[in-house]
Amino acid sequence: MREELEVTAQLQQDPEPKGKRKEKKITSIEDIPGVGGTIAAKLRDAGYDSLMALAVSMPVELAEVAGIGEGTAIKAINAARDAMDMGFETGDKVLERRKFIGRITTGSKELDSLIGGGVETQAITEAFGKFGSGKSQLAFQLSVNAQLPVDQGGLGGAVLFIDSENTFRPERIAQIAVSRGLDPDVILKNIHVARSQNSDHQMLLVDKAGDLIKEKNIKIVIVDSLTSSFRSDYIGRGMLADRQQKLNKHLHTLQKLADIYNLAIYVTNQVMDRPDVLFGDPTVPIGGNVLAHQSTYRLYFRRSKEDRRVAKIVDSPNMPDGECVFRVSEIGISDCE
């Protein structure tokens, strides 16, 4: 309570007459009026170590982690937003900023072209399909390709891999790395894997990922699969609303990581068959409209002949509808000959 009163008093302090006061430029969270060393340390420990992280946070969650009142949290967030100049801007400036977007090659030029040049940073790329359709294989391929130099289709960084289905196979990643002429030991040491036990554990891993992202230069976060634990933890229509609310929060946390650290998010998704569809493909993804709206790029994978897979782009903000065929073989993802 004492900390909250001290912070509130500092935020309301106005020692000089209005108009004569010299405002201090805010460049870090310590510069925000009312955020002293103790509060700043709590914020940094909780992952709020930059003005951007603070500016995009919610007052309720900030008040909880910092031990301050919600009103004080709102003032601190507003101060960070003012410092970040988060108002309106013209489209040409947005276009200029998007030049810093990075892309990770999938290993297939056809698949890269389908999604605009590769898996994009500051975006969530979702792949859904039946078992054996190539979703996890693309996750393994991206785990290798993300570590390549930029001029070779990578981002020169490490990988954070959340495995909810117990399908992570280092042997397969090593096989892909060797086929590309890379050292498998080096590749595997740059992949940080966590086995999530349930949906709450999965959400916690993402919530606490900020420190690891900065420390290890993470360039892509992979969740395989996003919906498996939610599907098993929340059973029946009575729990559907709770499931969707938590899934929505989980997705927004992933998007926040992508925005703050300019990294790519790749998630796989399970499917089900609609019994009311008598003609055509009855396959639909899990997650409902919450996941459909939050995914930036949505891909539907299905099997074709032999080692071929078909990818269809279902949703994208800038790419047209289309399909492509790629191969999944011992060398990983590649184009068909």
Q: Three-state secondary structure along 186-236?
A: HHHHCEEEEECCCHHHHHHHHHCHHHHHHHHCEEEEEEECCCHHHHHHCCC
In the block, which residue shows the tokens 């994009």?
Answer: 120
Angle between helices 59-66 and 37-45 (to 10 degrees): 110
Domains of the chain: 2-84 (1.10.150.20), 97-335 (3.40.50.300)
**What are the backbone angles phi and psi of residue 63, rounded to the nearest 5°?**
-60, -35
Give every CB contact of residue 315 below 8 A, 6+ residues apart in sequence.
292, 295, 297, 298
Give every CB contact of residue 30 below 8 A, 6+ residues apart in sequence.
36, 37, 40
Q: What is the pLDDT of residue 5?
A: 47
Please state, as a whole number, how many other Cβ atoms lie within 10 Å of the Cβ of residue 284: 14
Per-residue pLDDT of the chain (337 residues; tens, 9 = 90+): 544 444 444 444 444 444 444 456 787 887 887 777 777 887 777 777 778 888 878 888 888 877 778 887 888 888 888 887 777 889 998 899 888 999 999 999 999 999 999 999 999 999 999 999 999 999 999 999 999 999 999 999 999 999 999 999 999 999 999 999 999 999 999 999 999 999 999 999 999 998 899 999 999 999 999 999 999 999 988 999 999 999 999 999 999 999 989 999 999 999 998 878 778 788 899 999 999 999 999 999 999 999 999 999 999 999 999 999 999 999 999 999 7
Q: What is the pLDDT of residue 14?
A: 47
Nearest to 257 by CA among 203, 222, 207: 207
Asked if 226 contacts 266 with a C-beta cutoff of 8 angstroms, the reply is: no
Please give the angle made by the CA atoms of 80, 83 and 89, to the nearest 5 degrees: 110
Q: How many helices (H) and strands (E) does the chain have?
A: 15, 13
HSE (side-chain half, CA atoms, 13 Å) at 167: 18
**Chain segment 188-232, per-residue pLDDT in tens:** 999 999 999 999 999 999 999 988 999 999 999 999 999 999 999
Please state, as a whole number, how many other Cβ atoms lie within 10 Å of the Cβ of residue 303: 16
Asked if 106 contacts 84 with a C-beta cutoff of 8 angstroms, the reply is: no
Please give the angle made by the CA atoms of 249, 255 and 260, to the nearest 5 degrees: 125
